[in-house]
Chain A
C-alpha cells in the first residue's frame, strides 16, 4: 500500500466533489419565509401576524406565570436527574394528558383502552401516528381538510401515505362548507383515515358546531373511516378545556377508535420544549397494549425517547390542583384578549366603511382569522404597511393589540379599496 508520506496532504484537501454535489436547496417553508421577511424589515411599525404563536398585548413572547413556577420547582428539585425517559415518555405525563383530552372519567381510559405516548409536540405525534398507520393499518389514504395546517401533508407523505382532501372552508360564506365536507367524506373509501382538528381550525378559524360534529361522527362510523384528531388548541377557543374537547370526545363515547395528536405548544406556551402526546383509543385493552408496543418500534429508530424538560413542566402543572387552576385562569385571559381583539377589529373595519362583510372575524374562533384577503392584498400590506401574514390571508390574532388594531384596519381598508 502506498505510503501516506508520498501523498499530498493539505487540510483543505477535498479532491473529489462532495457526494452530495447534486443536492439542491429545498424550498423555504412559506410561513417561515414570512417571518424572515418580517425580521429583516427595519420599519418601527411592523406587525407580525404570521406564525401561530401567542403574543402579549406588548407583542412579546408570553411565558405563562404557572410555567415559570413549574420551572422553578424543577430547578430547585435536587433529586431530579436527566436520565433517559422510557421510549413512550413520562408515565405520569401520559396519564394526565389522556385525562386532559378525553376527560378524567372517560370510560375508554378506565377500561385501559387508550394508549398514550409522549411525543415531540403535535408534529411529532402526527408523524408517529402516521408511521404507525403506514406500518399497521390496511388503508393508506389520508383525507385532509381543504385548507389545512401547512405541515400536515408532510407528516403523512413522509410516512408513505397517500393524500386526498375534503371540502371544508367556503370562501363565499367564510364559514364551513358542511355539505361539501359530508359529500367528500361520504365518498371516501371504507377505512380511509380522516384528519380532523379538534377546535380552532388552522388556518380558517372555522369549527363545526356540535350538531355538525354529531353528523360527522355518524358518517365517519357508518363508513368505517378512521378519525385522526389534531388537538393543538384545546382551551384556546372557549377558555374551557372540556368544552373545546367535545368534538373528539364524541368519537370516544360512541365506543369507536381514533387517534389524537395533542400539543402543549400553544395552550401552555411551551413551543420550543416540544411537548405533546399521541393517544390511540382502541376497542380493547389488549389491542391498546399491543399497539403501544408497536409505537415503541416507530419511536426508537427516530429519536429513541422523548425530551424530559417540557414533559416535567406539564406534569408539575397538571397534577397540582392549584397550579392547574392557575393555568386555566391564564389561558382564559389569553383567550379573552383574542376575543376582544376580534370585536375591535370588526368594529374598526365597520367604522371605516371597509367594503365587504367582515362578520367572519368574530364568527371564526381560536387563534386565527382567515381574513379572505388574497395573496396580492397580503403582499401589498407587507410592502406598504409592513404587516406580515401568511399569503393565504391567515391572521394570527394573538399578534395584535388594542394599539395596533386601528393600523391593521387601515391596511385592510387600503388593500381592499385600492384599484388594482
Chain B
C-alpha cells in the first residue's frame, strides 16, 4: 500500500506545484561566510605542516592543542551518572546564576544579598547578548545601540537580528594602536541622553585595548551624567590581567557610581567550555520585585528561542563555582592561561625587534587579553595565509592563544617578511 501510494502521489504532484516549488528558493543567495568561523574552516582544510591558526579566540596550550581544564575534568567526573537529564531545575539554574553574578559584582555585594538583579543562564556570550538585545528592543523599541569601533563582528549581527539599529563610537586609535580616549569621551557626551552602549569590560575584542582604571572612572562618571545605559559583554574575564576580580573592576566602578547596568558573561574561554554554550545575562534592578519581573521577561524571550538552556555545561560551571577547592583550582588555571599568553606576547615582540623590523611592535605587549590587533593590512594578512599558512581575520586580529614557543619564531619571521618594506 505504501508503494502504491507514492506512485499515485507523484502523478498527482502537478507541474504547476512543481514550478511553484522551484520558484520558492531561487532568490536565496549564498550567504557570506562568517569572517571568524570561516578562518577556522579554511585552516582545517589546509594540509600544510607549518600552519598556524590565529583566528578564533579559543585557548590553546603550548603545543597548540585545545585544553580541557583540570577543574572541568573533576567536575565531569563528579556529575557523571547523576540523574539530571531533565530540563534545568530552578535550583540548579539559580545556583549557576548566583555564582556567575558573584564574579561580576563581587561575592559580598549587597546587590546579590538583596536580590537586586535579574539573572538568567544564556547560551554563552552570544546568547546572553541576544537575549539582552531582544529585551532592549521589547522595552525600548526606538532605541539604538552604540558599539565600539571596532567590535566583535558578531555584535553587529546580534543587534541587527534583534532589530535594534546600531551606531558606533570611537574606541581604537589606529596610529597609537591604543585607546582614542578623547574621541571616545566626545562621542559619549554627544550621544543623546539615555543611550544604550555596548562596552567590553576587559580584554577588548578585537583590539586588546582596555581603558585604564582612571579612564574607566571618567567614562563611568560621564555615563551617570548622561544617564546612559551601559551593557557589558564580558567574554574574557581573567584573560586581561590574570585576575578575575581585577578584570571585573570596570563594571564595579560603574555600579559604585550608581549606574544601572546589564552584563553578559561567557564561560567559553575562561572555563574552556566553548562547545557547551554556558553563559549568564544579568540586569541590575531597583529591587528584588523588579528583578522578578525582568527575569520573567527574559525567560519568555528565551522560551520562544530554544525554551531552556543545555544542562550539561550549567552543571559543570555551577559545580566548579560552588565548590571552594574547585573554584580555587579554576582561578589558578585561568591565571596560567593568561600568563602563557602574556609571555608569548613578550616573545613575539622581542623576536620582531630582534629581526630589526622597521615597525613599532609595542602594541603587542601593551594590548591585553587574547587578541593582538596587529595593524596588519588585509593584503598582508592574505600574504601570511597564502605564503606562510598563517590564519587570522582580515582585520589583522591575531588570537595570541594560537601562538606557542614552537611556532613563535616562524610567526615572527613571517610577519617580518610581509611588513619589512613598510
Enumerate chain A interface residues (CB-CB to B < 8 A). Answer: 1-2, 4, 7, 9, 11-26, 28-29, 53, 60-61, 63, 67-68, 71-72, 75, 80-87, 119-121, 123-124, 127, 131, 136-138, 151, 154-155, 157-158, 190-191, 210, 214, 217-218, 221-222, 224, 226, 246, 250, 253-257, 269-274, 282-283, 287, 289-291, 293-294, 296-298, 300-310
Q: A75-B77, A301-B154 are in contact. Are A127 and B311 (CB under 8 A)?
A: no
B328 within 8 A of A: no
A-side contacts of B26, CB under 8 Å: 287
Among A14, A157, A190, A272, the one with the most B-chain Cβ atoms within 10 Å of its Cβ is A272
Given A13-B256, A301-B161, A310-B310, CB of A4 within 8 Å of CB of B6: no
- Interface contact B306-A120, CB-CB below 8 Å: yes
Task: Please determine whether B307 and A123 come into contact, CB atoms closer than 8 angstroms.
Answer: yes
A217: B residues at CB distance < 8 A: 9
Q: If A127-B305, A274-B310 touch, does A297 touch B157 (CB 8 Å cutoff)? A: yes
Q: Which of B8, B306, B312 contacts A303 (CB 8 A)?
A: B306
User: From residue B77, how far is it (CB to closest CB) to chain A in Å?
Assistant: 7
Q: Give A283 to B216 CA distance when docked, in angstroms.
A: 56
Q: Report B-chain residues with C-beta under 8 Å of the C-beta of A155.
A: 304
* A294 to B34 CA separation, bound complex (whole angstroms): 11
Interface residues of B in 163-208 (CB under 8 A from A): 194
Residues of A within 8 A of B18 (CB): 255
Please, how many angstroms separate the alpha-carbon atoms of A83 and B27 in the complex? 34
- Supposing A224-B20, A297-B157, A301-B161 touch, asked if A272 and B85 sit within 8 A by C-beta, the answer is yes
Query: Chain B residues with Cβ under 8 A from A9's Cβ?
Result: 256-257
B65-89 toward A: CB 8 Å interface, digit per residue (1/0)? 0101000100011001101111110
Chain A residue contacts of B217, Cβ below 8 A = 4
User: Of B1, B123, B222, B258, which contacts A15 at CB under 8 A?
Assistant: B258
Can you name the residue of chain A whose Cβ is closest to the Cβ of B109? A11
Interface size class of B (residues with CB under 8 A): 35 or more
8 Å CB contacts to A: which residues of B27-75? 27-31, 33-34, 37, 41, 56, 58, 66, 68, 72
Q: Given the complex of chains A and B, what is the CA–CA distance between A288 and B123 in angstroms?
A: 27
Query: Which residues of B are found within 8 Å of A15, using beta-carbon distances?
Result: 224, 258
At the interface, yes or no: B5 with Cβ under 8 Å from chain A?
Answer: yes
Contacts of A4 in B (CB 8 A): 217, 221, 257
Q: Across the interface, which residues of A come within 8 angstroms of B285, CB to CB?
A: 18, 20
Contact, CB under 8 Å: B290 / A23 = yes
State which of B242-250, B267-275, B377-385, B392-400 sits at the interface with chain A.
B267-275
B354 on the A face (CB < 8 A): no
Q: Are A24 and B293 in contact (CB under 8 A)?
A: yes
B27 to chain A, nearest CB (A): 8
CB distance from A92 to the nearest CB of B (A): 14
Query: Are B275 and A85 neighbours in the complex by a CB distance under 8 Å?
Result: yes
Q: In the complex, which of the residues B58, B301, B303 has the most CB atoms of chain A within 10 Å of its own CB atom?
A: B303
B227 adjacent to chain A (CB < 8 Å): yes
In the complex, what residues of B have CB within 8 A of residue A301's CB? Answer: 126, 130, 154, 157-158, 160-162
Bound: A287/B290 CA distance, A:
48
CB distance from A256 to the nearest CB of B (A): 6
Assuming A87-B37, A274-B311, what are 5 further A-B pairs, CB within 8 angstroms? A81-B68, A86-B41, A269-B85, A301-B154, A301-B160
- B275 x A250 contact (CB < 8 A): no
Interface string of B372-410 (1 = CB under 8 A from A): 000000000000000000000000000000000000000
Contacts A14-B258, A254-B9, A283-B21: A303 and B304 contacting too (C-beta < 8 A)? no
Q: What CA separation (Å) do A191 and B30 show in the bound complex?
A: 23
> Contacts A155-B304, A224-B20 given: A254-B13 contact, CB under 8 Å?
yes
* Interchain nearest-CB distance for A253 vs B (Å): 5
Please indicate the chain B residues that have their CB under 8 angstroms from the CB of A271 in the complex.
85-87
Complex contact B72–A26 (CB within 8 A): no
Instruction: Tell me the smallest distance from the CB of A152 to a CB of chain B, in Å.
Output: 10
Residue of B nearest to A67 (CB): B85
One of B13, B110, B274 near A82 (C-beta < 8 A):
B274
Please report the C-alpha to C-alpha distance between residue A282 and residue B22 in the assembled complex, in whole angstroms: 9
Contacts of A14 in B (CB 8 A): 258, 260, 284, 286
Closest 3 CB pairs of A and B: A272-B311, A308-B275, A303-B123
Chain A residues whose C-beta falls within 8 Å of the C-beta of B218 in the assembled complex = 1
Q: Is the CB of A290 within 8 A of B290?
A: no
Q: Given A9-B257, A158-B305 in contact, is the A221-B17 Cβ separation under 8 Å?
A: yes
B283 near A20 with CB under 8 A, answer: yes
B17 lies within 8 A of A291 (CB): no
**A82 and B304: CB pair below 8 A?**
no
B421 lies within 8 A of chain A by Cβ: no
CB of A22 within 8 A of CB of B139, answer: yes
> Which residue of chain B is the closest to A160 with respect to CB atoms?
B163
Q: Is the CB of B130 within 8 A of A190?
A: no
Q: Do B286 and A21 touch across chains, with their CB atoms under 8 A apart?
A: yes
With known contacts A84-B58, A274-B309, A26–B297 Cβ distance under 8 A: yes
29 A-B interface contacts by CB (under 8 A): A11-B110, A15-B224, A15-B258, A18-B286, A19-B194, A20-B283, A25-B292, A82-B72, A83-B274, A123-B305, A137-B24, A157-B304, A190-B20, A210-B1, A214-B5, A221-B12, A221-B13, A253-B10, A271-B86, A271-B87, A272-B87, A273-B312, A291-B28, A297-B31, A300-B126, A301-B130, A304-B123, A306-B277, A308-B275
- The answer to whether B110 touches A257 (Cβ under 8 A) is no
A254 to B8, CA, bound (A): 9
| Set of chain B residues within 8 Å of A7, measured between Cβ atoms | 221, 257
B360 at the interface (CB under 8 A from A): no
Please name all residues of chain A whose beta carbon is closer than 8 Å to the beta carbon of B290 when the two chains form the complex: 18, 20-21, 23
Return B271 CB to nearest CB of chain A, in Å: 9
Task: List chain B residues, Cβ under 8 A from A72.
Answer: 80
Give chain B residues whose Cβ lies under 8 Å from the Cβ of A221.
Answer: 9, 12-14, 17
Q: Which chain A positions have C-beta within 8 A of B257?
A: 4, 7, 9, 13
Name the contact of B28 in the complex, choosing from A68, A222, A294 (C-beta under 8 A): A294
Q: Considering only CB atoms, which chain B residue lies closest to A302 in the complex?
A: B130
In angstroms, Cα B77 to Cα A211, docked, is: 51
Q: B25–A291 contact, CB under 8 A? A: yes
* CA A210 to CA B5, docked complex, whole Å: 10
Question: Is the CB–CB distance between A257 and B194 below 8 Å?
Answer: no
Of the residues B20, B28, B294, B306, contact of A287 by C-beta under 8 Å? B28
